[in-house]
Structure 1
Amino acid sequence: MAIELTHGTGTPSHAIIWLHGLGASCDDFPPVVPHLGLNPTPAIRFVFPQAPDRPITINGGMRMPGWYDIKGMSIEEKQDRAGVEESYAAVEKLIEEQIAQGIPAENIILAGFSQGGAISYYAALRTQHKLAGVLTMSTYMLFAEQLPEERSEANQNTPFFASHGTRDPVVAVNLGEQAVETLNTLGYSTQWKTYPMEHQVVMEQIQDIGAWINACFAR
Structure 2
Amino acid sequence: MTDEKLHRLLDRTAQFHTEVQRHVQSLLPAPDERFVAAFQSGLLSLEHALSTLMLVDQGLFSSAIALTRPQFESLVRGVWLLHAASDNWVAKLSEPLTMETAKRANEGLGLADMLKELEAHPDAPAPIVAQLREYKEVTWKAMNSYAHGGLHPLSRTMTGYPPQLICDVIRNSNAVVALTAQLQSILSRVAENMLPVREMHEHFADVLPIIHSPTASTRGKHVG
Taking structure 1 as the reference length, what is the TM-score of the superposition?
0.27
Which has the larger Rg?
2
RCO comparison, higher one (Cα < 8 Å, 6+): 2
Which protein is richer in strand relative to its size? 1
Higher helix share: 2
